[in-house]
Amino acid sequence: MELSGAQILVQSLQDEGVEYIFGYPGGAVLHLYDALFQQEGVKHILVRHEQGATHAADGYARATGKPGVVLVTSGPGATNAVTGIATAYMDSIPMVVISGQVPSPVIGSDAFQEVDMVGITRPCVKHNFLVKDVTKLAETVKKAFYVATTGRPGPVVVDIPKDITDPKIKVPYKYPKKVVMRSYNPVTAVSKNQVKKAVELLLNAKKPMIYSGGGVVLGEASQELTAFSQLLGFPVTNTLMGLGAYPANDKQFVGMLGMHGTYEANMAMHESDVIIAIGARFDDRVTGKLDEFCPYAKIIHIDIDPASIAKTVKVDVPIVGEVKQVLALMIELIAEHKGKVNKKALEAWWLQISQWQAIDCLQYDRDSMLIKPQFVIEQLYEVTKGDAYVTSDVGQHQMWAAQYYRFSKPRRWINSGGLGTMGFGLPAAIGVKLAFPDAHVACVTGEASIQMCIQELSTALQYKTPIKIINLNNRYMGMVRQWQEFTYESRYSHSYMDTIPEFVQLAEAYGHVGMRVDQPDEVRPALEKAFAMTDRTVFLDVITDRTENVYPMIEAGKAHNDMKLRVATGTSTDRELA
């Protein structure tokens, strides 16, 4: 079969099983768009901004586990995609981004819409390619998918000069079934010896903790994690990225850890004598002050990326491998082992933990006259029966969604953790809804974040992706305001906007349903009404208590046992509205 470069690209995507490609056209990719026009296998989703394309592809990838695919033009199209690429990179999300490039002969001449995409994205991709020869195009696409989806996943950019896709130049096409790259061999073999050492430590632990992260979600090892944890009866805490990998309603779950984690999770980490980190990377939001991180613990660390191990925290038993495989082996070795967990010590440990739990660190004023954001999330949880896909933006609302929506399945909680990209939530929700048209998809956002990719409301209409946007409108960049309250004596420097759009009208202008909610007792009915409109995108503008803060909090540079807790406020002592 002889095909042009443009046809080869499109055919390769089909052969790779790509369902959706999120993109935006321009000069350098016109040949590609013409080839897309003449086929039906790959569905193109036209976004309104290239950042939206990357986040939508990313949301699709997080929800399905399949790589997200993006197509952008050269120059500004490519640079607009960079934020989304970096977002995917930081959270290890598989993504393939095809960018157009100026024709090969003029590369380097500051040609119209030329930008060195390979150079610009180098620090925020797993790998990137510049295609120099049309006969290598199919193989390069195959490599891109292979690299993006294996080992520690990540985004891969394929930059394609316009002449490579020239419809007049046809070459034989065959999509490789397999690629071998001598320089890239994602680890597979697990050291049984290391796993044995870990089992010894675990069985002798008196105050054990299971600290699991995004790697469990990425590695589809939620079942193994649950079986492993329940076999041992140890307390489980999740990172922000790991939520849902262990069912939040299970009695062994002590909540999220870290900066806005629960009191019990952080105290238990601090006091623990054996910690097993599973697909988690000891991020600074999690560890707090490094010198005082888990001072009494021996640490076991399972990670597919050797570079994640001992990057910031020294570990006693490193295990390089796929979580799924390692946990399965661990379960096997524990079952075979003569020793048993120290029941007595474990009982004492759980008693201690229950005392920390009794502090009820997630309490808030349920009798407030104002809408409490936490209440909205709790209601969202109930109305969706805890089974929705929830995307979020970045800020206080993100933390409340993480704390109060008790995720019980992996891939349901979709947020930007590592880069913390405002603007992620809405396009990501579109990507999720395309993947799961029958599921409830909610986007929890804030009035500042939503404005960063608000234009994608138009995409949501065009492709009929009925999502529910829950805008926790506190008329502040709440997260910024909170830090300013705590550390800058409430000097609220540029953390609010004097002009906030009328979101209901804005949603309507985009062809959706807008609803404003400003009384606590309207929250539940409004949510029910919104989710009942299964074929409409609904924008719920929820006017919340603007002075509410996220608690508990470990302030920057503090240790796990030094948390700021909510001071019990009694009833309805809503602070003066600033």
Is 113 a known active-site residue?
A: yes
Where residue 389 falls (left for φ over 0; alpha for ψ -120 to 50; beta otherwise) is: beta
Helix (H, G, I), strand (E, B) or coil at 461: helix
Q: Is 194 a catalytic residue?
A: no
Site string for another protein, 123-152 (x = CB under 8 A): x--xx--x----------------x-----
**The token pair that represents 71 in the structure block:** 């197509």
Q: Which does 182 bind (CB under 5 to 8 A by kind): Mg ion, ligand FAD, another protein, none?
A: another protein
Burial, 438: exposed, middle or buried (Cβ in 10 Å; 0-12, 13-18, 19+)? exposed
Residue among 162, 207, 372, 433 flagged as catalytic? 162
Residues 373-432 that bind ligand FAD (CB under 6 A): 394, 398, 417-418, 420
Q: Which helix (H) or strand (E) holds 489?
A: none
Q: Does 152 bind ligand FAD (CB under 6 A)?
A: yes
Annotation says 528 is catalytic: no
Partner that binds at residue 303, options ligand TPP, Mg ion, ligand FAD, none, CB closer than 5 to 8 Å by kind: ligand FAD
**Which of 155, 261, 478, 520 is in the footprint of Mg ion by CB under 5 A?**
478
Cα–Cα nearest to 478, from 578, 378, 377, 406? 578
Decide whether 303 or 545 has the Cβ nearer to ligand TPP: 545
Does residue number 446 form part of the binding site for Mg ion (CB under 5 A)? yes
Cβ closest to ligand FAD, residue 63 vs residue 479: 479
Q: What is the DSSP string of 297-355?
A: -EEEEEES-GGGTTSSS--SEEEES-HHHHHHHHHHHHHH-S----HHHHHHHHHHHHH
Taking the complex as a whole, how short is the minimal distance between the CB of residue 309 and ligand FAD, in angstroms? Answer: 8
Residue nearest to ligand FAD (CB): 214
Angle formed by the axes of helices 263-271 and 343-357, nearest 10°: 140
Taking the CA atoms of 364, 376, 48 and 508 in sequence, report the sign of the dihedral they define: negative
Nearer to ligand FAD, 92 or 165 (CB): 92
260 makes contact with ligand FAD (CB under 6 A): yes
Is 281 a binding residue for ligand FAD by CB under 6 A? The answer is: yes
Q: Which is nearer to another protein, 28 or 148 (CB)?
A: 148
Catalytic, 22? Answer no
- 469: Cβ contacts below 8 Å, ≥ 6 apart: 426, 429, 442, 443, 445, 450, 507, 537, 538, 539, 540
Separation of alpha carbons 544 and 521, rounded Å: 12
Q: Which is nearer to Mg ion, 448 or 507 (CB)?
A: 448
Picking from 180, 74, 66, the residue whose alpha carbon sits closest to that of residue 120 is 74
| Per-position x/- string for 79-118, each x denoting binding to another protein as judged by CB under 8 A, each - no binding | ---------------------------------------x
Location of structure tokens 């632990």 = 205
Rounded to 10 deg, the angle between the 425-435 and 50-64 helix axes is: 50
Q: How far is the CB of 393 from ligand TPP (least distance, A)?
A: 5
Handedness of CA 143, 146, 149, 151 (dihedral sign): negative
Strands (E), 404-496: 413-414, 441-446, 468-473
- Residue 173 one-letter amino acid: Y
Q: From the list ligand TPP, ligand FAD, Mg ion, none, pick the one residue 9 interacts with, judged by a Cβ distance below 5 to 8 Å according to partner type.
A: none
3-state SS class at 502:
coil
Q: Quick check: 438 and 487 in contact, CB under 8 A?
A: no
How many Cβ atoms are within 10 Å of 87's Cβ, its own excluded?
A: 26
Nearer to another protein (CB atom), residue 140 or residue 222? 140
Stretch 177-216 residues interacting with ligand FAD (CB under 6 A): 213-215
- State the catalytic residue, choosing from 2, 112, 497, 519: 112
Tell me 76's DSSP state: H
Cβ closest to ligand FAD, residue 44 vs residue 270: 270
Residues that bind ligand TPP (CB under 6 A): 393-397, 420-423, 446-449, 472, 474, 476-480
Picked from Mg ion, ligand FAD, another protein, none, the partner binding residue 219 (CB below 5 to 8 A depending on kind) is: ligand FAD
Element (H, E) at 132: none
Size of the site for another protein (CB under 8 A): 17
Rounded least distance, CB 137 to Mg ion, Å:
45
Asked whether position 474 contacts Mg ion by CB under 5 A, the answer is yes
Give catalytic status of residue 433 as yes or no. no
Q: Nearest distance from residue 203's CB to ligand TPP, in Å?
A: 42
Distance CA 183, CA 462 (A): 43
Q: Which residues bind ligand FAD (CB under 6 A)?
A: 91-92, 152, 213-215, 218-219, 239-242, 256-261, 279-281, 283, 285-286, 302-305, 308, 322-323, 394, 398, 417-418, 420, 479
Q: Which residues bind another protein (CB under 8 A)?
A: 118-119, 122-123, 126-127, 130, 147, 181-184, 305-307, 310-311
Residues carrying an active site annotation: 50, 112-113, 162, 479
